[in-house]
Amino acid sequence: MGAVGTNAIRLEGAEKLCGRTKFIDDYTFEDCLYGVTLRAAIPYGRVKRISLDPNFPWDECTVVTAKDIPGKNFIAAIENDQPALVEENVLHPMQALLLVAHPSRQKAYEALGRIEVEYEELEPVLTIEDSLALKAVLREPDNVFKDVRIDKGDITSGFAAADVVVEGEYRLPHQEQAYIEPNGMAAWLEKDGALIAAGSMQCPYYVHKALLHVLGLPAEKVRVIQAATGGAFGGKEDYPSMLAAHAALLAWKSKRPVKVIYDRLEDMASTTKRHPALIRHRTGVTRDGRLSAQDIEVLFDGGAYSTMSPVVLTRGAIHASGAYACPNVRIRAKAVATNSPPNGAFRGFGVPQTMFAAELHMDRIAEALRMDPLELRRRNVLKEGSSTATGQVLRRSVGACDVLEACAKKGRYAKKVKECAAWNRKAKNATWRGAGLALAYHGGGFTGGGEDFYASRAGVALEADGAIRVLSASTEMGQGASTVFAQIAADALGVPFGWVSVQTPDTAKVPNSGPTVASRTTMIVGRLVERAARRLKAELEEASGRIPKTRPLWLKAARKFLAGRGRREIISQYERPPGIHWDDKACRGDAYGAFAYAAALVELEVDKTTYEVRVRKVVTAHEIGRAVHPLFAEGQIIGGIAQGLGYALCENAVYKRGVMQNPHFTDYIIPTALDVPPMEVLILEKPYDYGAFGSKGLGELPMDVPAPAAAAALRQATGKWFFDLPILPEKICKALHEDHI
């Protein structure tokens, strides 16, 4: 029996359960310094002077400013607009001005208090509206980082054909990734002058590239190693490049190892969040419930620098029309600059925002038509042969209808809605109840030509001692990437799972398989591992006939095959599946190799006195091509739904002049074991030909469905619509009482 499709034991599981896994803060370095960061105290302006208190022993410290940067002062990303350290202009209040390192962490923090900075302050731009109104120009010429336009059919004739037009406006807040391990990085110099950075990260080669520029070193003089990563969810996609640059600059100047470990407050206040968004829908629909025109405007708050915003926006915009086939669509999307810390990647990458709007809007349309929301979705859902907003014709592995029906059936949707209505009629009950349904789709892998552009590489190696090792830069961060890669390699080679190990990502040892993002690890990188392992199998078979079934025979065959060559490494490179075409300028064509689909039914109740919301149950169906590891797939789904419920109901990031006011778990509330309801998860499989063993991307998909389903359930429970997240008890209270004011 093969390993794919079974619940193989997590490779690094036993170590984690014994507390032996080393996260970056668990490493000790001889002669180590602790690095800390002085951040701007103003959202917008200029630094006039930085003065150090002459009564402080600065000779014990290493101090780094922008002047000390040996290479170029930017963090390499899509655009290189974000400086590693402020030279003069401050664009957000968490921007790093200066770094201090000291052998004692406490002393290093003390040093920060002995620095005085004089600023010339300017009036900041803090909202999407002010940015578009050009209250100040933060970015030439119009404050827009990216402008996406998607057109399908002709919306004028679409609206002409409509019987009903429904309009709506939706607002989404920041959301913090809230991985339990804060960001941290260590850097040191080797004797040969090479710089090594190790830490918590998703994308070793992003960090590598950023360090090359900041330090002005050739590629072979920089090495990046991933330490065990305690959760990431997108929050360790681009910020680790900044952090590594800071640690590296301090190590470069001091010639000593330097650790920069953020505490929770600094991590939450300074690192990236989910983009706040303002989304407007205007939809034409016929009396019998067919969408005839969708006119959608999407606005994202990108923060002060471009970072990931252009690609987050593009993905969000492409998904903005929902998992429906409407013949006439117009989507206009912009990501704009504000004086707040840059927003970045967070599980879903722009889609949870646009999907919330699209799905809740469907519920409003259903109400306007007096139609069951499930029935309205059924009539418009994407099927084989349907085309998406970018004109992508879906041919195979289309599970939208399947997840919708499976979820409604398993959750007994119609019955639940009736039961809730009956419950709400009884005035004696202390709560109101509601049930809500949502449907989503999510493209796996980079958007459009992204995978072509990156041309990722990954593979397997047969070592001299007969060991089989998977080589990739995709990081294990809890999602189970290592175990899944070992399963894929084992089955492709035809050997037991236990014979395969996985190399920890290290730019000196693994090829660049791209960042660990975009739900691409199993589907895209796993496919590269699969192809490489199949090639190795063919080579072995050619040399010695069949693949041996026992370990001694395997070792013998491996020795014979290698014949003193040391090791055999096979690396495969991404190849575009046939029939995929993408026009980036027009935003037309096959945006993704395949989409995965999910539906969720959320049942909740609201306390009539406190307006506290308790989610009673979630039933969800996910169609993901193939579940390589069903238990991990379920773990991703349940974990993602929990984050989505947090986004909908309790996670409230409060900002004032660009500064997060509640950067603690005390007042930024993420769901606890008592807040997350029991979940029933159905996994459906419609294999995709070009994903590893038929798999499609899963990681982000579960994040897309809970928020709109919860808002729909609250509509039934309270009779009120909530178009802004999070839906806190005080918001419900206000909505219910405004009738009486």
User: Residue numbers of the site for other proteins (CB under 8 A)?
Assistant: 7, 9-10, 12-23, 25-26, 177-182, 228-231, 233, 263-264, 477-480, 631-632, 634-635, 638-643, 664-666, 670, 672-674, 676, 678-679
User: CA dist 155 to 159, 293, 299, 305, 431, Å?
Assistant: 6, 5, 20, 34, 43
Instruction: CB nearer to other proteins: give 213 or 347.
Output: 347
Q: Can you say how many angstroms the Cα of residue 349 is from the centroid of all Cα atoms in its chain?
A: 5
Q: What is the nearest approach in angstroms of other proteins to the Cβ of residue 540?
A: 31
- Beta strands (DSSP E) in 246-394 are 258-261, 277-285, 291-303, 329-337
Instruction: State residue 247 phi and psi, 5-degree precision.
Output: -60, -40
Task: Say which residues have a Cβ less than 8 Å from residue 719's Cβ, sequence separation at least 6.
Answer: none
Report the nearest approach of other proteins to the CB of residue 584 (Å): 34
Cα distances (angstroms) measured from residue 16 to each of 24, 186, 477: 14, 21, 12
Q: Residue 24 gets which letter from DSSP?
A: G
Closest separation in Å from C-beta 288 to other proteins: 39
Least distance to other proteins, CB of residue 240, Å: 15
CB of 614 to other proteins, least distance (A): 13
Question: Which tokens hold the place of 64?
Answer: 């780094």
Closest separation between CB of residue 672 and other proteins, Å?
5
Q: Among residues 286 and 662, whose Cβ is nearest to other proteins?
A: 662
Token reading at 247? 């640690």
Task: DSSP letter for 138, please.
Answer: S
> Do residues 435 and 711 make contact, with C-beta atoms less than 8 angstroms apart?
no
Identify which of residues 74 and 239 has a Cβ nearer to other proteins in the complex.
239
Burial (0-12, 13-18, 19+ Cβ within 10 Å), 106: exposed
Q: Name which of 182 and 310 has its Cβ closer to other proteins.
A: 182
What's the closest the beta carbon of residue 673 comes to other proteins, in angstroms? Answer: 4
Assign residue 566 a region: left if phi > 0, alpha if psi is -120 to 50, beta otherwise? left
Instruction: In angstroms, give the least distance from the CB of 243 to other proteins.
Output: 17
Burial code (b: 16+ CB inside 10 Å, e: under 16) for 170-206 equals bbbbbbbbbbebbbbbbbbbeeeeebbbbbbbbbbbb
> Which CB atom, from 178 or from 587, has the smaller least distance to other proteins?
178
Residue 632 CB, shortest distance to other proteins, in Å, is: 7
3-state secondary structure (DSSP) of residue 78: coil
Cβ closest to other proteins, residue 60 vs residue 634: 634
Residue (9 or 455) nearer to other proteins, CB: 9
Q: How far is the CB of 638 from other proteins (least distance, A)?
A: 4
Q: Which is nearer to other proteins, 175 or 321 (CB)?
A: 175
Q: What is the DSSP letter of 499?
A: G
- Pick the closer one to other proteins by CB: 155 or 698: 698
Residues 6+ apart with CB under 8 A from 332: 148, 149, 296, 297, 298
Among residues 260 and 381, whose Cβ is nearest to other proteins? Answer: 260
Q: Which residues pair with 46 in a beta bridge?
A: 89, 120
Cα 640 to its chain centre, rounded Å, is 11
User: 564 burial class (0-12, 13-18, 19+ CB within 10 angstroms)?
Assistant: exposed
